[in-house]
Amino acid sequence: MHVWRFEAIGTVWEIETIEPLSHRRRASVTAVVDDFDATWSRFRDDSVVSSLRSGGTAPVPADADSMLSLYREVGQATHGAVTPLIGAGLEALGYDAQLTLRPGAPIPAPADWERMLRWDSSTLSVSVPAVIDVGALGKGRLVDLVMAALDGIHGRVTVDASGDLRVRGGAARIALEHPFDPTRAVGIVEVQDAALCASATNRRAWGSGLHHVLDGRTGLPVQTWAATWAICHDAMQADAVATALFFDGGPQLAADWGVHWVRMTTNGRIERSAGFAGELFT
Amino acid sequence: MNVHPIARTTTALLGTAGALLLAGCAGTAEAEQKAPDDAAVSAPYADGTYTAEGSYRTPETVESIDVTLTLQDDTVTDVEITGDHQARETENYQGQFIDGIADVVVGKKLDDLKVDRVAGSSLTSGGFNQAVERIKNEAATAAQ
């Protein structure tokens, strides 16, 4: 097994393959990641989403329809909690491009984002000042894109974007990290030719009650759920469900999509979907 | 049922509550059976039962829970959590989709498991970690 490790979009990536990746493969993966970051990162001034902060129109990015259509479903399922216009809310709490981490008053996301953020086959436009943040499912999307860039490689290929991973050509045993103690696991599950996406409030956190999973309706960090895991064929949907599971409506959405999952409350209790095939250490 | 990570130290005990205290909440912990005097950080607890209370604010309510731990030989042998959730995102809200509601998780040491990968929250980049260190230092300076 060979592992290629790098940092991108603010986290650590590992790509595991049987044979080392060629320079050409690495270059194509790097290009995919760079393009995604240059489009969707709100942490850089020159990205497409940054160019739309005051409102405006841009050529439609390649992933806009896939991601924003899914956002529409997740937003409906969670009654507005999950929204791509949560960026201003994250920045209000200090999670901004400068990483000031100085919390100010919370800012709820606009309730009717679909009227403000529109896209078609040629343009993406925002009608009001707004900060787009695709954190609810964007990393999963990028995992899918990276896996596609590794098409044709034989044997088991694992793309692990730290929390969101996808396995092709085999199975992998995955420990579900305890959100309060990273030396421990709360369970274990085998993932075969599928994605497992995790989300938890313990690392991307910067103060008492301050972390990166916000309820768009209030602009406040979620309180009840500490960690979620979702398994689906593609990582974007798994990532979306992992986010939705922090809210009421998440289990319904998962059932509608046939996604299996586990989630843990901030007081240590754990739930699983009826069909979750893994083991939990309860 | 037991929950291990709660138990090792005073800090860890509050850390569990920390999970429940994430919200800027006040929490207190008191041992029914006195812990060793030097329990400050890493000393093992005496066998016995410990109770921690915590509360945290949700958008709608203030939630409170009690955590009771039973320790034997520096290992948690039992944990009981009681609380009264009032928030909108409640545990038992959608029972029809949920199997095995509300078991308290025990956990196992990762070192004892044979796995290919670990899935949890995303590791943060160096920039984020430095920013967190910076605000901690600023807070420490401001407190002096």
Mind listing the pLDDT tens digit for each residue in A66-124? 999 999 999 999 999 999 999 999 999 989 998 888 888 889 999 999 999 999 999 99
Q: Which pLDDT value is given to residue A48? A: 97
Q: Which chain A residue is nearest to residue B26, measuring alpha carbons?
A: A208
Region of poorest pLDDT, from A97-111, A134-148, A242-256, B49-63: B49-63
Cβ-defined contact of B128 to A281 (cutoff 8 Å): no
* Bigger pLDDT: B1 vs A130: A130
- Check residue A262 and give left, alpha or beta (phi > 0: left; psi -120 to 50: alpha): beta
Question: Rounded to whole angstroms, how far apart are CA atoms A119 and B69?
Answer: 54
Look-up of token digits 């009654």: A79
Question: Rounded to whole angstroms, how far apart are CA atoms A4 and A38?
Answer: 22
Contacts of B111 in chain A (CB under 8 A): 183
**Which amino acid, one-letter code, is at A186?**
V
Q: Smallest Cβ distance to A251: which of B94, B102, B134? A: B94
Q: Which pLDDT value is given to residue B38? A: 35
Contacts of A241 in chain B (CB under 8 A): none
| End-to-end CA separation in angstroms for chain B | 43
| For the ranges A62-71, A273-282, B45-54, B114-123, the one whose mean pLDDT is highest | A62-71
* Bigger pLDDT: B133 vs A234: A234
Chain A, 37 to 56: residues with Cβ < 8 Å from chain B are none
Cβ-defined contact of A269 to B18 (cutoff 8 Å): no
ipTM of this model? Answer: 0.86
Q: Smallest Cβ distance to A209: which of B22, B101, B109? A: B22
Q: Smallest Cβ distance to B16: which of A180, A186, A201? A: A180
Alpha helices in chain A (DSSP H): 23-40, 48-51, 64-77, 87-92, 113-116, 138-149, 235-244, 250-257
Q: Smallest Cβ distance to B121: which of A200, A220, A275? A: A200
CB under 8 Å to B129, separation ≥6 — which residues? none
* Bigger pLDDT: A130 vs B110: A130
How far lies B105's CA from each of A268, B4, B86, in Å? Answer: 6, 9, 22
Nearest to B86 by CA among B53, B104, B62, B54: B62
Q: Which pLDDT value is given to residue B122? A: 78
Q: Which pLDDT value is given to residue B80? A: 56
Question: Rounded to whole angstroms, how far apart are CA atoms B33 and B35?
Answer: 6
CA distance A231 to chain B (A): 11
> With contact defined as beta carbons under 8 Å apart, do A216 and A85 qualify?
yes
CB under 8 Å to A45, separation ≥6 — which residues? A97
Q: Which pLDDT value is given to residue A116? A: 96
**Which amino acid, one-letter code, is at A73?**
E
Chain B, 26 to 55: residues with Cβ < 8 Å from chain A are none
DSSP code string of A101-128: ----S--PPPTTHHHHEEE-SSEEEESS
> With contact defined as beta carbons under 8 Å apart, do A9 and B122 qualify?
no
Contacts of B114 in chain A (CB under 8 A): 173
Instruction: Check CB contact of A139 with chain B, cutoff 8 Å.
Output: yes
How far lies A43's CA from each of A100, A133, A242, A256, B125, in Å? Answer: 12, 10, 23, 33, 13
Contacts of A197 in chain B (CB under 8 A): 119
* Bigger pLDDT: A205 vs B96: A205
| Per-residue pLDDT band at B18 (split at 50, 70, 90) | very low
Element (H, E) at A157: strand A157-160
**Which amino acid, one-letter code, is at B120?**
G
Nearest to B118 by CA among A145, A95, A158, A6: A158
Return the residue in A203, A265, A269 with the most chain B beta carbons within 10 A, the one to mutate for interface testing: A265
Query: Is the model's pLDDT at B85 over the cut of 70?
Result: no
- Mean of pLDDT values over A189-210: 89
pTM above 0.90, yes or no: no
Cβ-defined contact of A246 to B114 (cutoff 8 Å): no
Query: Is the model's pLDDT at A246 over the cut of 70?
Result: yes
Region of poorest pLDDT, from A127-136, A232-241, B75-84: B75-84
How far lies B135's CA from each of A13, A203, A220, B24, in Å? Answer: 26, 15, 20, 16
Give the torsion through C-alpha atoms of A67, A68, A73, A74, to 10 deg.
70
Question: Rounded to whole angstroms, how far apart are CA atoms A181 and A10?
Answer: 22
Q: Which chain A residue is nearest to residue B82, measuring alpha carbons?
A: A267
Query: What tokens were used for B56?
Result: 């945290």
